[in-house]
Structure 1
Amino acid sequence: MDLDCFKAYDIRGKVPEQLNPELAERIGRSYVEVTGARKVIVGYDIRLSSPEIAAALSEGLRTAGANVFDIGQCGTEQVYFATSHFGMDGGIMVTASHNPKDYNGMKMVGPDARPISSTNGLLAIREGCREPLGNARQPGELFQIDAMKPYIEHLLGYIDIDTLTPLNIVVNPGNGGAGEVIDALEPYLPFEFHRVHHTPDGNFPNGVPNPLLPENRTPTSMAVTASNAAMGIAWDGDFDRCFFFDEKGRFIEGYYIVGLLADQFLRKTGGGKVIHDPRLTWNTRELVQEAGGEPIESKTGHAFIKERMRDEDAIYGGEMSAHHYFRDFAYCDSGMIPWLLVAERLCQSGVSLSSLIDARIETFPASGEINRTVKDPEHILQGIERRYLEEALSVTHTDGLSMEFQRWRFNLRMSNTEPVIRLNVESRGDIELMKSFTRSLLDDIEELDGQSLRDPQLSVAL
C-alpha cells in the first residue's frame, strides 16, 4: 500500500492516488490500535473530498471500538479546542491546509490536544495501516456535537469587549473555512467586516488559500485601501494561520506580529514566558523583556514549539510563519485569537497598525525568509559557519545555524523535505547593513554550492 502521504508531522497526499476513503478507514482503525483512544473528535475542512474521507475515517475509528464525536466542517483549531474542551482521548482534522485542491490530509492529536507526529505515534499508525486489523467486539457510536458555541465564547475571553471601538476590518478567508467563524463572532463585536472571498468553496475559485504567496495578497490589500479599513486579515484554508495587512494595504511580515502579540499578551498577564523560533529574534526578545516577560528560543515547527511551551508553561508562542500558540488554548495554534488581540490593541491605543509596525521595522529591519535550492545543504551550512566564525559573538545550532554579531545576525537552516536552505538576516537599526550582509551571504551560498559541485569531498573536509 502506498503510504507516502504520511509526513513528519501530519498526513498529506493527492486524492485519490495517495489518500482515499479506503486508506482513511485503515488510518482510523490504526489510530485506535496505537493510541487506545475511545473518544475521538473528528472534523473536516471545506475541500470537496473532505466529507467522504472524514466519513471513512470515522467508520474506521468506530469499527476499532472508539466513539466518534463529529463536529462537522470546521477549522483545525476547532478540533484542537474540542478535543481539550470536551476531555476527549484524541482528535483528527481532515485537511490539507494550503495545498492544491486535489490534495487532502489529516492532523492528529491525543489527549489535551497534544500533537501526534513521527516521534510519538504517527509512524506506528502508518505501519498499522499495512496490517489486517480485526473488528472490536463492540463497535463505537457516532455522535454529532456542536462545538461552535463554546469555541466562540472561548475566543471572546481573550479580549476586553468593553474597550473595543468601531473599526473597519477586511477579512479574506480565501474561500476557506474562516468565514463561518467571522460570521459567528460578528454579533459580539463593534466591527464592520468587509468580506473578500468569504464563501467556503472547495473548488478554490480564487486560487489556493495561501496568503504567503505574493499573488494571493492583492485582493486583501486592494480591499483595505478601497474600504478605508484599519487592517486586513487573510487566512489559509483551515485557518490555523492568519496574516495581517496594515491600513495602507501593506502585507506585514509574521516576525513583527510575533513581537506585537507577545507584548500585548504580556501586558494582560503581567509577565510570563514566551517561546519563539530562532530565525529572527531580536525584535521579539526586546519586546518580551520590556514587557516583563522571558523569551525562550525553540526549534522551528509546531510540535517543537508546543512541547517547549508545555515544558516551560509559557503563556504564548509565535513563529514568523504566522503560527501563534496560546497556553489557554491547550498550547495550540489559532488563527482567530491573534487578530482579536491586534484589533483590541488598535482600539485601546488609538494608533494605526502601520505606526506600531514601522517602529519595529526601523529598530530591527529584516530580510524576510529567502529560499535557495542547493546541491548539498549541509555543506553550505558548514562552509558559511567557517567563513563567519572569527567575527561572530555567538554561534548556536538550535535550528540550523544562527550567528550573532555586534550589529547584525542571521539564521540559515535546511528544509526537512527538500534540498533547500532558508536564510533570514536582521540588523540593529541599519537597513542598508542588513541588505549588504544578505547579499554577501547569498553570494557565499552560490559560491559554496559551486564548490560542492566541483569537489564533492569538500563538505567532508569542512
Structure 2
Amino acid sequence: MTTLTCFKAYDIRGKLGTELNEEIAYKVGRAYGQIYQPKTIVVGADIRLSSEGLKQATIKGLNDAGVDVLDLGMTGTEEVYFAAFHLDVQGGIEITASHNPMDYNGMKLVRENARPIGADSGLKDIQALAESEQFLAVEIKGRTHKYDIVPEFIDHLMTYIDPFQIKPLKLVVNAGNGAAGHVIDAIEEKFRQLNIPITFIKIHHQADGHFPNGIPNPILIENRDSTSQAVLAHQADLGIAWDGDFDRCFLFDEKGHFIEGYYIVGLLAQAFLLKQSGEKIVHDPRLVWNTLDIIEKYQGIAVQSKSGHSFIKDQMREHNAAYGGEMSAHHYFRDFAYCDSGMIPWLLVVSLLSETSQSLSSLVEDMISHFPCSGEINFKVTDTAYTIQKIFDHYADQNPSIDQTDGISLDFGTWRFNVRASNTEPLLRLNIESRLDHNPQPMQHYVDQLSALIQS
C-alpha cells in the first residue's frame, strides 16, 4: 500500500509527479465519491499548467464512483465554495496550489454548503481509502456537464455593497497572471451597468500558467513592487493584488504602501461591528492586539481560533460569527457560508473609503502606529518542533504569558510573538508585535533577537 504524502492539515498539496499526479487525483475523486456518495459536486481548477489534467482525472474518479459533476472550468477557490453552497450540489473540489512553487499543485475539498474537509473532518478517511484502493464497483457512472457560475457569483458579490453610495475611485488590480482576472472583468461590466464610478487599472491581468511575472504571492516582499509602482504612477486610491486562486487579496494604500493583512482584519472587524455591535469576530493567534483593541472598542466579542481555513470556519459556525480574519489575508464571511473570499474584502474597503471619504492610509494609520508588527517572517529549519522548543526554553525564565492555540505565543506585556510550523511547507513562521505606547525597543530589536536564536 502506497503512503500518500500530499494530504496536509486542511487540504491536499504536493510536488508534481512524486507527491501528486493524475493517478493520485483519480483516487482522491474516487474516494471522495465513495465516502460521501453525493449526487452532484462542482469541480474547478486554477490556471496552473498541470491543473486541467488533474481536474479531468479527479472528475473521472468521481464519475467512476457514480457522482455527477458540474465542471466550472478555470476558477478561483471561492467560485467553487460559492457554487457548493449556492447550487443544488453536495460538495466541491478546487484544483489549486495557490501560492506554492511552480512544481506543486493541490486540492481544496468541501462538502455540502461548502463545509470544509480537513484532517479532523474527513480528509484522513479519503487518504486511507485512496491509499488502500478498496474501491467498490458502481452500476451507473456519473456524468459531467460544464457550468458557468460567474454571473451568479457576481450577483452575490454585489450584495456586500450599496452601489449608490460608491464614490469615484481609481483601483490598480493585479491578478498576477492567476485566476482573478476573469472575475474582475465581470465585476467591471456589472459596475458599468450599475453606473458605479470605479476605474480599474489592470496589470498582469491575463491568466497564464507560465506565470511570466512570478508565482502570484503578494505576501512575498519581492512580489509587491509592480502593484505599488502602478498605484503611484496612476495616482490610484487603492491597489489590490491576489494570489493564484484569489482566495486572498492584498491591499496597498494610495501612497503605494503595502498594508499588512493584520490591519485589514481590524478594519473589516470594525466595518461589521459598526453595522451591528455584539457580533462575534474570529481571529487567529499570530497577531492579536490590534484586533482585540478594535473588537473591544466597537463592542464585539472576540473568538480565537487555530490558524487555517478549516479551523476558522468551524469556529465561525460554532459561534455564528459575522466575520473571521487571519493576518495571512484570509477573510471569512458568515453570508458567504463562512468561507474565505479574496473579492469581498476589497469591495468592503471600497465601501468604507466611499462612506468615510477617507483614504486607506488614514483608516489604518492609528492601528499601525499603536500596534507595530514584523509581518510574517519565514525560516527554513530542519526540525520545526525542536526549534520551537529551543525558543520556548530560551524565554522561559522571563515568565511570559503562554498560549498554545497554534504553535506557541509568548506575551511579555509590552511585546509578544507567535512561532508555528507551516501546515503546507517545511517552514517555521514567526510573527512579532509590540505596544508602541509602552515599548522603548524598536521592532527590529526583537526581529534580530529571534532570528539569531532560530538560526543558531
The TM-score with structure 1 as length reference comes to 0.91
- 1:85-96 matches, within 5 Å, as 85-96=86-97
Which one of the candidate residues 356, 360, 370 is aligned to 1:353? Answer: 360
Q: One-letter code of the match for 1:92?
A: I
- Post-superposition offset of 1:125: 1.5
Q: One-letter code of the match for 2:268?
A: L
**Distance of 1:413 and 1:54 partners within structure 2:** 32
Q: Closer, same or farther in 2 for the Cα pair 1:48/1:382, shift >3 Å?
A: closer
Q: Conserved in 2, the CA contact under 8 Å of 1:2 and 1:18?
A: no
User: Which residue of structure 2 aligns with residue 267 of structure 1?
Assistant: 274
User: Which residue of structure 2 aligns with residue 176 of structure 1?
Assistant: 178
- 1:46-445 matches, within 5 Å, as 46-130=47-131, 131-186=133-188, 187-188=190-191, 189-374=196-381, 376-389=383-396, 391-392=398-399, 394-416=401-423, 420-430=427-437, 433-435=441-443, 438-439=446-447, 441-442=449-450, 445=453
SS at match of 1:119: helix
Q: Conserved in 1, the CA contact under 8 Å of 2:411 and 2:417?
A: yes
- Post-superposition offset of 1:342: 0.6
**Distance of 1:298 and 1:393 partners within structure 2:** 20
Q: Conserved in 2, the CA contact under 8 Å of 1:221 and 1:251?
A: yes
SS at match of 1:92: strand
- Post-superposition offset of 1:372: 3.4
Q: Closer, same or farther in 2 for the Cα pair 1:410/1:132, shift >3 Å?
A: closer
**Distance of 2:124 and 2:58 partners within structure 1:** 17
- Post-superposition offset of 1:267: 1.4
Q: Closer, same or farther in 2 for the Cα pair 1:117/1:223, shift >3 Å?
A: same
- Post-superposition offset of 1:273: 0.3
SS at match of 2:268: helix
SS at match of 1:53: helix
Q: One-letter code of the match for 2:441?
A: L
SS at match of 2:98: coil
Structure 1 unpaired stretches of 5+: 451-462
**Distance of 1:442 and 1:45 partners within structure 2:** 37
SS at match of 1:13: strand
- Percent sequence identity is 52
Q: Closer, same or farther in 2 for the Cα pair 1:215/1:443, shift >3 Å?
A: closer
Q: Closer, same or farther in 2 for the Cα pair 1:206/1:437, shift >3 Å?
A: closer
Q: Conserved in 2, the CA contact under 8 Å of 1:425 and 1:434?
A: no
Q: Closer, same or farther in 2 for the Cα pair 1:220/1:300, shift >3 Å?
A: same
Deviations 1:69-95 (A, max 9, x none): 122211100101100111421101111
Deviations 1:305-336 (A, max 9, x none): 11111111111000110100001111110000
When structure 1 is superposed on structure 2, of 408-417 and 133-142 the one drifting more is 408-417
**Distance of 1:25 and 1:444 partners within structure 2:** 45
**Distance of 1:238 and 1:111 partners within structure 2:** 21
Q: One-letter code of the match for 2:446?
A: T
Deviations 1:380-414 (A, max 9, x none): 44454455456556322111222323322222323
Q: Closer, same or farther in 2 for the Cα pair 1:373/1:398, shift >3 Å?
A: same
**Distance of 1:400 and 1:18 partners within structure 2:** 26
Structure 2 unpaired stretches of 5+: none
User: Which residue of structure 1 aligns with residue 4 of structure 2?
Assistant: 3
- Post-superposition offset of 1:118: 1.9
User: Which residue of structure 2 aligns with residue 460 of structure 1?
Assistant: none
SS at match of 2:124: helix
Q: One-letter code of the match for 2:147?
A: I
Q: Closer, same or farther in 2 for the Cα pair 1:392/1:342, shift >3 Å?
A: farther
User: Which residue of structure 1 aligns with residue 37 of structure 2?
Assistant: 36
Q: One-letter code of the match for 1:310?
A: R
